[in-house]
Each structure stands twice: as C-alpha cells, then as structure tokens.
Structure 1
Amino acid sequence: MADETMLEVQGPEGTRSVRISHPDRVVFPEPGITKLDLARYIDAVAEPFLKANGDRPISLQRFRETIDGEQFFSKNPPRGAPAYIRDVMVVYPSARSHPQLVLDEPASAIWAVQMGTVVFHPWPSRAENSDNPDQLRIDLDPQPGTDFDDAVPAAIQLRAVLAEAGMDAFVKTSGNRGLHVFAPIRPEHEFLDVRHAVIAAARELERRMPDAVTTAWWKEERGRKVFVDFNQANRDRTMAGAYSPRALPHASVSCPVTWDELESVDPRSFTVLTVPDRIAQVGDPWSDFDEKPASIDVLLSWWQRDLENGLGELPFPPDYPKMPGEPPRVQPSKKVAGNWDEHGNRIDVD
C-alpha cells in the first residue's frame, strides 16, 4: 500500500502536483471507494463543480477515516495550506468575523479531498460580496412517510411559483431523499431579505399543495409531508453543493438534473462512480445557471402581503440570537401560553 501519490492537476495556472497521502484508504466501505478515487472524481467533474461552488465561502465536511467514523467541519484554511488556497473574511450570525475557505481551481478542491473532505458546503454568495446572496435556495425535505417521489411534484409546483415571481429555477438531487431548487438572483439584498423571499415562496407553495407540503418548523407539526426548509436561507447555513459527494454508504452525489428528466430519475443512480460519465454524455444541466439573475422584489412583496394578513416571522435556527418578531422557541406541545407575551418573549412567572 502506497503512503502517498501525486496527482497531476490541470488548472488556470498550468499543472499542479497535488499530494494525496494514504491514497488506498477506503473512504466509502460499501463500494470500496478510496481517497484517491475521490480525488480523481473531483478532478473529473472539476469544471461544473467549480462553476457551481467556486469563488464562494465554503465549509468542508471532513472525515478522519471512513464516512462511518469521526467527522468535523472546517471553515478556515489550516496551517501549511498551499499558496493557491484562498480565504475571505465573512461575518457569522454571532457578528464575529472570520476567514473562510474559497476554492478557485481544481487543485484547491483536490487539496480539500487530501484533507479528508467528502462533502462541500458553499455559501449562496460570492467571496467578494459575501453579505449579499446571488442564489435563492430552497430545500425540499421529505419527512417520515414520504420520499423522493413526493418531493418531485413539490419541486415542479415550486418552479411555477418562482416563475410567477420572475425567476428561472434549477433543480438538483440532494444526494439523499430530497431536492434542492435554486434560482440565480441579483446580489442586491442581504441574508434576512433573501430568507423572507424564501419564506414567501414556501408559503405560496404550501397554499397550493396543503396536503403535500409544509412550512412547519417543529417536527411534531409536519406530518407526512415535504418540509420546505426555509432556514437553509440563513447566513452561514449551507447545503451540499452541486456535484458534491454525500457521506452516504453508496457514495451518492448531489446532482443537477433537467426539469424534463426530473420525474424519471433515480437519485441513487448518481454516485461518485457514475456522475463523470453522465457529464461526459449529457453535459451540465446548470451550465447556463448565471445567465439570467432575477430580482427578489416580487417575493418580498408577497412577504409584505403575508405580514399584513397576520403571517409573521418563522423560527430561526436554535444557535441564532433571538430575532425580531420571532415566535417562541419552544416545542408547541410544551408551550404554556401564559409564559409568553404577544411578541414571543418569555415572561418570568413566580
């Protein structure tokens, strides 16, 4: 077993030699995919992968051994990173600023694999304008009792909703049971506005598919429906990027698909072993993603309409500071109404 190998990687600055230590270490035990196999996968899909995920702050989901072992997230460049690894200063929900990794070329993504990365989580904003997303992202998450086939009609209807708001929507498999619907937007608004645009679209989708879709944050209220996870639109909340592997036994990939093929695809067929051939045969369904960025003003007008009709803010992630207008952060079945005021603030009761 070799202790290391060098992978010759083509890029904008010419060929770089990227060291892969322990290349024969198995990362995905079920299909026997090794660390070197994973590096070669990223090299094979580098062009569409970087088009989707490059030039963005990115978090790396890293594993010390196999996907069944210890894992952790890495955001800033570690000591000893190659000179071609870039970072950018970003602001987190706590208001702290910190440098975050940015991938600019194939060698940087393969270096991330060398560091144990399996899943790549890009921000919805560009590195030089990280406070203003240029992607609107909606995560369709099937709840227990539902599956991928239930997410498909929700995604198709969501596409129609976004089209009414003047947006071109793109879709990809999550790599698991769900779907991710993205739309390119102009980077004119900060994260809270984009979150509100997502909530407006989610509520409109829920109105049209009340028996199939839910925006209920608390699991006990969701039922057997597809949850529209609006909190993925928050600052420092990310999902697996396009063409990113997922840490699942069959080495699935979060794979862009066309709307025409959506109803017939099997998400389990998109893996580290199959996606390079798919791209070679059918190309990248997201190749024109950035051509028509849209305004979110229509969605924000829907948000304002819903506010005027009594639909307010929705819960934020639990690690966020308490946000203006946010409802109580307590499980509905455990809420005692007398302990909360009309603004969702807890009242101290003697």
Structure 2
Amino acid sequence: MPKAAAEEHEIAGHTVRLSSPDKVVFPSRGFTKRDVFEYYVAVGDGIMRALRDRPTTLQRFPDGIEGETFFQKRIGARGVPDWIQRATIKFPSMRTAEELCPADLAHVAWAAQMGTIVFHPWPVRAAAADQPDELRIDLDPQPGTDFGDVRTAAGVIREVLDDLGWVGFPKTSGGRGVHVYVRIEPRWDFVQVRRAGIALAREVERRRPEAITTAWWKEERGERVFIDYNQMARDRTIACAYSLRANGRATASAPVTWDELAEVEPDDFDLRTVPKRFAEIGDPHAAIDDVAHDITPLLEWSARDEKDGLGDMPYPPDHPKMPGEPPRVQPSKMNKANWETK
C-alpha cells in the first residue's frame, strides 16, 4: 500500500504539516498519527487551558508507543517553524533550557506532528517561570489499593480544600491515579510552594492515616494511597488535562467534576470518548482560571508542623541537597553514619 501523502492544516492562523498520517501509533487499537492529531484539535480549548504560556516538556514516540521514546526539553531551531514560541526554564542544577511554550493550538498540533503523545507542562507561566501558579496534588495508588481508594483520598482532599475556602479541580491521571489542581497566586518560589503542598498533604493524611500516606520511602507506605508531594519540586511535571497517555488503551487524563469522580473509571476516557464528551459537555475545568488562591494558610501550617518536629521531607534523587532536608536514605538502612538522630 502506498504511503499516505502529507497533509496541511490551517490551525490558529498557522499552517501545520501532518506527515505520515496513516502511521499506526497505538497498535492494539489501530489508532494512527492522524487520529492523535485530530484528537488534540478536537479538545483544543481544553488542552490550551492547561498549556497556554506554560513551558512544556514533550514526551515523543516517533515510531508509536511500542517504539523508542524520549522527553524533549529543548526546542532547537532546525526544522521548527518560526512562529513556535519558547520559554526559558531552570533545572535544579540551575542550567537552563528553551522549552516549547504553547501560545495557541497550532503549537499543540505541531507537537503532535512531531510524535508527541504526552504533554508535561510546568506549573508556571513563561512570564514568571520561577513562581508556580498551580498547586498540583498527585494521588498515587500503591500495591494493594485500587481506584476506589484513590477516590476516597480525593474526597478527603476536597474536605480540606473546602475548609480553606479553596476550589480544586480533579482529573483522572490516565492511569489509576487522580490529580487535583488548585490555581494559586504566582508570588512564591518552588521551595515555598512545595512546602505548602507538603503541609496540605500532611493535613489530608492526619484525617485518614489508615488510608493515605505522605511517606516518601515505599517500605513505609503500606497499602495506602500516596500523596506525591514532590510533584511540586522544580522540574517535576504531570501529564496535563486532556493529554493522551502512552498505554495500549490510549487513555487520556480527563477533567471531571467532583460528583463525577465518585462514578467514573479511568478507562472511561480515551482517544475516542474524550472528544465526544468534550463536544457534549464542554470542559469541567472551564472555571479553573477564575480564582487564584493565597497559600499563606498552608505556609502557616508548614511553620506549625516544623515547630512540632515535622520539617522538610526528602527531595527527588536528582535534586541537589536542599537546606533542612532530611538524609536521603531509606529508614531500613538508617545507622549512625548516615542518619542524624536527636
């Protein structure tokens, strides 16, 4: 069969070329590169609400999800349209990179043409790349738990947010987890916002300690849902709302209402079902930008916790050692040589 000809699409005032449109990307379901391209165009308003003006890492699969993959954090000049916008981000090492910074849907379509399946935006806008404007709460099921347990944990998060008078926006992760996003005022740095996230996670854990944990070390988590507070560390990203996920089911990370969360299953949302749902009900996260919260209450909780002996928690292993951080060694290997005890 002859190779399908390249196509040109007019999107957001730009011409976007789609080459090899019939290339199979999701073999188990037969979805092609054109299907992925059309998916992102169909959910355009929703994914742009998640990506607009955010430095974004691209998870690319040039030969489909069963081929090799890589994370693209730098957008060069060769072969890149002159209208593509970039933003400078700073890694924990303080080195910098120019990442894709979607200004319109043509940027997303171009990335899909380049084999991008998963979009990983930073929780910042380009204009203030060191001050997060989004607090991300990542609920990660552990062995022995299921999506029902994650729903329960999400309900406790909602209770805490309600007590603060805050509005949170849940979405499925595209796997077995749930993410809850809260827009915040962009006037704190990554260290402060991460500490605020830890304080919120600890409060959630206190309310259901038998079901929810903040323990960084897997040996301490047990059969509980883990709140991954390190998703707020610099250079940590989460697949955005409406991003496809690189699995055989071609699932998507789907925004839902709190009421829907009690009923849905992760496999309800995929490349075929999400565009239809979007056309019928719109975006459940449509109001996410209507308010930005002041995280001062969480920083006060953090100061209270530190006074009570609950200071910082371990950073991801690729981060430099941070002031006040406990030793990065799992508790079962604790000894006088590598663990400071008081």
Contact 2:327 2:338 in 1 (8 A): no
Q: Secondary structure at the match of 1:257?
A: coil
With structure 2 as the length reference, what TM-score do the two structures score? 0.97
2:9 aligns with: 8
**Structure 1 residue 94 corresponds to structure 2 residue 93:** yes
How much does 1:342 deviate? 4.5
Question: Hey, what's the Cα distance between the residues in 1 that align with 2:152 and 2:27?
Answer: 34
Contact 1:77 1:85 in 2 (8 A): no
Contact 1:166 1:294 in 2 (8 A): no
Contact 1:166 1:295 in 2 (8 A): no
Opposite residue 6 of structure 2, the aligned amino acid is T
2:189 aligns with: 190
Opposite residue 66 of structure 1, the aligned amino acid is G
Residue deviations 1:234-273 (CA, integer Å, cap 9, x gap): 1110000000000011000000000111101121010011
**Structure 1 residue 309 corresponds to structure 2 residue 330:** no
For structure 2, the 5+ residue unaligned runs are none
**Structure 1 residue 24 corresponds to structure 2 residue 25:** no
2:110 aligns with: 111
Opposite residue 73 of structure 2, the aligned amino acid is K
How much does 1:188 deviate? 1.1
Opposite residue 174 of structure 2, the aligned amino acid is G
Aligned counterparts, 1:195-206, within 5 A: 195-206=194-205
How much does 1:328 deviate? 1.2
Question: Hey, what's the Cα distance between the residues in 2 that align with 1:7 and 1:41?
Answer: 16
Question: Hey, what's the Cα distance between the residues in 2 that align with 1:83 and 1:108?
Answer: 11
Question: Hey, what's the Cα distance between the residues in 2 that align with 1:326 and 1:176?
Answer: 31
Greater shift, 330-339 or 105-114, is seen at 330-339
Question: Hey, what's the Cα distance between the residues in 1 that align with 2:338 and 2:9?
Answer: 63
Question: Hey, what's the Cα distance between the residues in 1 that align with 2:5 and 2:298?
Answer: 51
Q: Secondary structure at the match of 1:100?
A: strand
Question: Hey, what's the Cα distance between the residues in 1 that align with 2:312 and 2:70?
Answer: 31
1:180 aligns with: 179
How much does 1:214 deviate? 0.4
How much does 1:337 deviate? 3.0
Question: Hey, what's the Cα distance between the residues in 1 that align with 2:125 and 2:53?
Answer: 6
How much does 1:17 deviate? 2.7
How much does 1:233 deviate? 0.4
Contact 1:165 1:299 in 2 (8 A): no
How much does 1:92 deviate? 1.2
Question: Hey, what's the Cα distance between the residues in 2 that align with 1:171 and 1:309?
Answer: 31
Residue deviations 1:255-308 (CA, integer Å, cap 9, x gap): 000011110112101001110100111110000101011100001100000000
2:170 aligns with: 171
Aligned counterparts, 1:190-339, within 5 A: 190-339=189-338
Q: Secondary structure at the match of 1:200?
A: helix
Contact 1:126 1:133 in 2 (8 A): yes
For structure 1, the 5+ residue unaligned runs are 344-350
Greater shift, 252-261 or 92-101, is seen at 92-101
1:346 aligns with: none
How much does 1:3 deviate? 4.5
How much does 1:64 deviate? 2.5
Contact 1:6 1:17 in 2 (8 A): no
1:137 aligns with: 136
Residue deviations 1:4-59 (CA, integer Å, cap 9, x gap): 42242331xx3x33212211111111111101110010111111111111210000
1:69 aligns with: 67
Question: Hey, what's the Cα distance between the residues in 2 that align with 1:322 and 1:167?
Answer: 32
Q: Secondary structure at the match of 1:144?
A: coil
How much does 1:108 deviate? 1.1
Residue deviations 1:64-85 (CA, integer Å, cap 9, x gap): 2121221100012132211121
Question: Hey, what's the Cα distance between the residues in 2 that align with 1:140 and 1:193?
Answer: 20
1:55 aligns with: 53
Alpha carbons of structure 1 residues 4 and 300: separation in structure 2 relative to 1, 3 Å: farther
Q: Secondary structure at the match of 1:118?
A: strand
Residue deviations 1:184-240 (CA, integer Å, cap 9, x gap): 111110111110111001000000010100000011111111000000001110000
Question: Hey, what's the Cα distance between the residues in 2 that align with 1:119 and 1:109?
Answer: 11
Opposite residue 74 of structure 1, the aligned amino acid is Q
Residues paired across the two proteins, number? 340
Question: Hey, what's the Cα distance between the residues in 2 that align with 1:232 and 1:48?
Answer: 22
Residue deviations 1:75-100 (CA, integer Å, cap 9, x gap): 12132211121111121111112211
Question: Hey, what's the Cα distance between the residues in 2 that align with 1:270 and 1:52?
Answer: 17
Contact 2:171 2:254 in 1 (8 A): yes
